[in-house]
Chains A and B, each alone.
Chain A
């Protein structure tokens, strides 16, 4: 049974970097058949896919255009987890952040992390 456990701070100051981690159990971040995503949800923007990473002979990443200049998603094979970094955050980045496994559909989700951007 695959489970995703998120960790990271719930409060980030404007202009700083948001950092979250998603620990994987029951699967491998290096699996050739899995894709690892970050998605956020806010009342004003609904569900918003941020990006993904996956391994198929080599590591690949895709990012949403809206955050492409500020986002980094990295796998950590030693800890079997993957991370999200979002730079130069503003109050508009306030949202619940989720990690999720899936390619075109997301069947496994983390528990969610409410991140507030405020000074």
Chain B
């Protein structure tokens, strides 16, 4: 069971928007930065969002991140078939002195 809680799956039609939630506690999300990763099978994960809401160069602004209290959210607008992947949230946990990830959310484009 993961320290951070994500929904197992979300889906939407092409062009629509999806949001993925990531719920934690004061020892992790509440007091540390959150990052989000996109993972395709057989390829190393790619960071989409870091420091809660910053995008690395090359990541389109269709991807956005936000944080409120002990929860964080990844938003994907203008959904494309190429966005079908697994998405993970991650952060530092000050109580565990460890990086923790969510269980992952599979995005399906209908």
Contacts and interface: CB of A to CB of B under 8 A. Distances in A.
A11 interface: no
Contacts of A109: 44-46
Interface stretch (A14-22, A25-33, A58-66, A76-84): A58-66
SS class, residues of chain A in contact with chain B: strand
A47 B50 contact: no
Interface string B81-93: 0000010101110
Contacts, number: 65
Interface string B53-85: 000100000000000000000000000000000
A57 B15 CA distance: 50
A47 B90 CA distance: 9
B39 to A, nearest CB: 7
Contacts of B103: 46
A104 B104 contact: no
Interface residues of B, number: 29
A104 B37 CA distance: 12
Interface of A: 37, 41, 46-49, 52, 62-65, 98, 100, 103-107, 109-112
Given A47-B104, A62-B97, A104-B33, 19 more contacts: A41-B39, A46-B88, A46-B101, A47-B37, A47-B39, A47-B88, A49-B90, A49-B98, A65-B98, A98-B45, A104-B35, A104-B51, A104-B91, A104-B92, A105-B90, A106-B45, A107-B50, A107-B56, A111-B44
